[in-house]
Amino acid sequence: MTTSIACSACLAKCGEDARATESVPWDRIRSAEARSRGKALFVQNCVLCHGEHADGRGVRSIGLDRKPADFSNAQWNSPAGAARAYHAIREGVAGSPMPSWSSLSEAESWDLVAYLVSVSTQGP
């Protein structure tokens, strides 16, 4: 319950954030190819914290003060949610264990967002 409240608060704030209004490449995000590439990136880089089902219940999430995001929550399937996920991947999340994944290209970051959006709408 706390995670969903935190996500709601985060996304509500994100809706006010100017970054959330930038153009989200929905054609890419809806692409089966981008989602497939994003899933591979998720398994390689994210599953330990965010879990096999992208629900924030990875093995490394145990004992964290701030739990990883639960991408099975439908709130991530919005322009604000997609933009927030993209910026979290690119910049990390201050005050949390979420690092910056600046080693990923912009295209790879959007592919990863494509997978996360697909999880929020269809499940893993």
pLDDT at site 63 = 87
- Cα 61 to Cα 3: distance, rounded to the nearest angstrom: 12
pLDDT in tens, 73-120: 999 999 999 999 999 999 999 999 999 999 999 999 999 999 999 999
DSSP 29-64: HT-HHHHHHHHHHHHHHTHHHH-TTSSS--GGGTT-
Q: With a threshold of 0.85, does the pTM exceed it?
A: no
Could you state, in order of their start, the residue ranges of all structural domains in the chain?
Answer: 2-122
The mean per-residue pLDDT over the stretch 35-45 comes to 98
Tokens read off for 118: 């697909």
User: Could you tell me which of 22, 43, 23, 39 has the C-alpha nearest to residue 114?
Assistant: 39
Position 7 confidence tier, pLDDT thresholds 50, 70, 90: very low
Distance, in Å, from the CA atom of 63 to the CA atom of 49, rounded to the nearest integer, reads: 11
Fold of 2-122: Cytochrome Bc1 Complex; Chain D, domain 2 (1.10.760)
pLDDT tens by residue, 47-79: 999 999 999 999 999 989 899 999 999 999 999
Closest CA to 34 of 123, 124, 122, 116: 116
* Of 95, 120, 109, the residue nearest 28 (C-alpha): 109
Reduce the DSSP state of residue 94 to 3 states and report it.
coil
